[in-house]
Chains A and B, each alone.
Chain A
Amino acid sequence: MTIQETPASQIKEDRFWLYRRKLGDFWRLFRRSSLGKLGLALVLSFVMLALAAPWIAPFDPFTFVGDPFLKPSSTYIFGTDQVGRDIFSRVIYGTRISLLVGLVASAMTVCLGTLVGLVAGYLGGRIDNLLMRITDLFIIIPALPLMLIMAAILGKGVQNIIIVIAVIGWTATARMVRSQTMSLKERPFTEASRAIGSTDLHTISRHIVPNVFPLVFANGMIAIVDAILSEAGLSFLGFGDPSRPSWGMVLYFANTAGATVNGYWWYIVPPGICIMLLVMGFAFVSYSTDQILNPRLRRR
């Protein structure tokens, strides 16, 4: 009797269609949620704004185009700042930095958390114990003060803000991935994989990672929200890079120019609204994703 072997290409194709179908299911459920659609629309419009910034912004955000502190007019939609730069253009260009930092920092956060969670959950024992102690520590110590201290130590700059956010924010993902990994490790299919002599790396990458991915994805959405807000806060306190101004940094300049006490609402309101809408966009997407992917919420 000969054993019919399935060619590798066939397996790959099967897997592709399986993922396609799963993604299709997800998308069908997601489209039913109006909050999710609204969130996605918000996020996509900011992505478009960031990409199309050079065509939308009427001025260069760094050059002095008028007198300082001009009121909003048809030329300068949100007026000018303390050195005569166009605030409207600065807000448009700020989208790029805020979005970029939010996405990169949260991606790093999630990768770090997933790595820690996988290692702790899969290996167990002493390593698990140590990693979970460190996780507890990072959950418990005050995040913003630690961020400020780290930012002060590392110095100003966009990269450093990203590093600081990633180093502080990985704990939630790590905990979740760990518990998921621990339960997946006991399932028959991972046991079978080990029984036929697969290496740990193979078992993790082929059997565990694909199964924790949906939850990691849902967590990533929350991480983006946190990252955007943290970036805004750090930039507002003056840790951003002045040559790459984000919305938080525009607000930092507004504060140093005394915009609140002088009543320059056009300097304060637009960047804040942008932060709020982008955060809400991601929060809505995350909420809907969670409703679909989290089995605990489905039964209600």
Chain B
Amino acid sequence: MRDYLIKRGVSALVTLALAIILTFFLFRIMPGDPTRTVVGDFRVTPEVRQMLIHQFGLDQPIWVQFVLYIQNLLTGNLGVSFQYRGTPVTSIIFGRRLFNTFILMGSSIGVALVIGIIVGTVAAWKRESKFDILTVIFSLVTYSMPVFWLGMLIILVFGYYLNSIPIAGTITVGMTYSNVFEYAADYLHHMTGPFVTLTLSFIGFYFLIMRDSILDVFTEDYMLTAKAKGLSDRKILFRHAMRNATLPMVSLMAVEVTYLFGGATMTETVFSWYGIGRLIYEAVVMADFPVLQGIFVIMSVLVISANFCADIAYAFLDPRIRY
């Protein structure tokens, strides 16, 4: 187990180092003046620019820049934003936006996962029944829809025709709240649209993986043993099949976090949700490269840690991995 942990840990660190190196070069292969992407923007005042050129060593050779970049990274200095006129990148990312994104993504992933696992198990059990076919078609349809289009449809139907959800933002602009519950209610009301969109777009994937995984488990010998022992269907299904089939989901989930970020970016953009995804889009449109670089580094750290945690969890859940 210890060897396994060390091996995984080293591999995670190597990947992280590669990601950081990639980020460094990605933002320096831009055509034209290489310093432009770091400080060279008219929205940054000359004083701040001088300070940054010094901090990041932009008048020095590239390897010195790289060393300084790593040093700054370790001390949490990710540079300053162009579009917000010199606000540090870290204070833009860590704050309300990160919180909003976590709430939105966390809740929709959680709900989609639970529904996907349960419905996937039942569908696999009743293979080729009407329920199975309908749920497979449903998940193929939602899987084939572009996320942003699903969001647009939801705005059109529930925002325009039924007028039951707000069409943009995280809270009502200019509204004053008498207590925290009122605020929470307004927040959740705004979250309905993006939450439904993201949940629907995630369910299909989890469902199909779970169904596939259960069908695989059904071919295992221990399923026959369980049946031969005279266990009830319910016990076989939920005790033996579902437990074993959930295992691959754990490792897949971590890998798919990267894919989920994509869906979140789209959804946040469509619903003007004040989060990291929307920030990525804004930063791209406004050519705010320091912010993009910062988000990218932080996301890489998050995803790589998530994968590392999943690997460990997997090893704990499945003894076969450890040896």
Q: Report which A residues bind B (CB closer than 8 A).
A: 133-134, 136-137, 139-146, 148-153, 225, 229, 232-233, 236-238, 248, 251, 254-255, 259-263, 265, 268-269, 272, 275-277, 279-280, 283-284, 299-300
Contact = CB atoms under 8 A, between A and B. Distances in A.
A142 B258 contact: yes
B159 A260 contact: yes
Nearest to A139: B255
B144 A276 contact: yes
8 contacts: A133-B18, A141-B299, A145-B265, A150-B26, A153-B30, A232-B146, A251-B146, A276-B146
A272 B147 CA distance: 10
Given A141-B303, A237-B269, A148 B284 contact: yes
B152 A268 contact: yes
Contacts of A275: 144-146, 149
Contact of B152 (A141, A255, A276): A255
A145 B144 contact: no
B183 interface: no
> Contact residue range for chain B?
35 or more
Interface string B286-310: 0100001001100110011001000
A143 B259 contact: yes
B160 A233 contact: no
B156 A260 contact: yes
B125 interface: no
Contact of A144 (B140, B160, B261): B261
Contacts of B26: 149-150, 153
Contact of A151 (B141, B258, B261, B284): B284
Nearest to A268: B152
B265 to A, nearest CB: 5
A149 B26 CA distance: 9
B159 A152 contact: no
Contacts of B146: 229, 232-233, 236, 248, 251, 272, 275-276
A120 to B, nearest CB: 16
A71 to B, nearest CB: 15
B72 interface: no
Nearest to B307: A140
Nearest to A226: B259
Nearest to A138: B22
Contacts of A146: 296
A149 B287 CA distance: 9
A138 to B, nearest CB: 9
B156 A276 contact: no
The interface residues of chain A, by DSSP majority, are classed as: helix
A145 B261 contact: yes
B298 to A, nearest CB: 10
Given A149-B292, A152-B287, A272 B262 contact: no
Contacts of A238: 285
Contacts of B141: 276, 280
Given A137-B18, A268-B153, 5 more contacts: A133-B14, A251-B149, A277-B144, A283-B143, A300-B215
B315 interface: no
Contact of B299 (A145, A248, A251, A284): A145
B15 A251 contact: no
Nearest to B37: A153
Contacts of A299: 219
Contacts of A232: 146, 148-149
Contacts of B167: 260-261
B113 interface: no
Contacts of A140: 15, 19, 255, 258, 300, 303-304, 307
Contacts of B265: 144-145, 148
A148 B287 CA distance: 11
Contacts of B160: 260-263
* 10 pairs of A and B residues whose beta carbons are closest in the complex: A144-B262, A272-B149, A279-B144, A142-B261, A260-B155, A142-B258, A280-B144, A152-B284, A263-B160, A137-B18
Given A141-B19, A141-B258, A233-B146, A152 B292 contact: yes
A122 B280 CA distance: 39
A134 B219 contact: no
A150 B30 CA distance: 10
B255 A141 contact: no
A22 to B, nearest CB: 27
Contacts of A259: 152, 156
B210 interface: no
A220 B300 CA distance: 27
Nearest to B14: A133
